Each structure stands twice: as structure tokens, then as C-alpha cells.
Amino acid sequence: METTMKQYLLSVHGTYDEQLPPDEMQQMFDDVGEVNQEMADKGVWVFGGGLTHPSDATVVRVEKGNPVLTDGPFVETKEQLGGFWVIKADDLDQALDWARKATVACRAPVEVRPFQEEAAD
């Protein structure tokens, strides 16, 4: 019997208060690249990417039935979403193993959440 792998979101949360020195930033990029390549080699990679600064965000919301656009992040908080991976994993434990590697590589907390399962027909 074939098992279906679940998809998980590994989201990177961090602050934008402090910038790493250029050599440390490059090492972080290299480390993340290695994790990305390992994910691809192991067949768990679905999609991933880093995000620009939260001040680059545009928020779209509905007010009185009409879409309204505003600049900046949706919430005022110290930590913001900085990037993410979508991976396939057999179970939460396997997804957490990838998150352990990811958090070391990107030097920021990584939250792991499963995608909702589709309803059976």
C-alpha cells in the first residue's frame, strides 16, 4: 500500500532589527543553499523562498465590502515572516528533522505547520 506524503510549511520568523555582517550573511545564504539542495536531493522540496523586508508589503483587506490597499505589514510585531519552505514529509517527526536543519542554516526560528488535508469525496 502506497502512503501519501503530507505537505508542511516551514516558516522562518525573525526580526529585521539587526543585520548580520556581510561575511556572516553570505555564510547563512550558503548554509540555506545547502539545506535547499539536500531537500531537493531527498525529494522533499516542493517550493521555498525568502521574502523582502516587511516594509515592502502591501496589505489588501475588505472595508465596507470594498478591497482597500495599505502599505506596510499587516501587524505591528517584532518578529515577521522572513521566508519559507513547503516540503513533503511522511509525518511531523520527519518535517521537524528538516526544521532542525533549516533553523541552524537560516539562524532564525522555524515554525512547522501541516497543510490542511483535503476532504474525502
DSSP 54: G
Written as one string, the DSSP assignment of 65-79 is: TEEEEEES-SS--S-
pLDDT tens column, 3-17:
678 999 999 988 777
Whose cell is 556572516? That residue is 24
Secondary structure E strands in the chain:
6-14, 45-50, 58-63, 66-71, 80-89, 110-114
Any idea where the domains of the chain sit in the sequence? 6-114
Nearest to 84 by CA among 35, 38, 120, 43: 35
Cα→Cα distances 64→14, 49, 61, 68, 73, Å = 33, 34, 10, 10, 21
Nearest to 71 by CA among 53, 89, 86: 53
What is residue 2's predicted lDDT score, i.e. its pLDDT? 54
Q: What is the CATH number of domain 6-114?
A: 3.30.70.1060
pLDDT tens column, 26-78:
999 999 999 999 999 999 999 999 988 888 989 999 999 999 999 977 777 77
In this structure, the number of other CB atoms found within 10 A of the CB of residue 57 comes to: 15
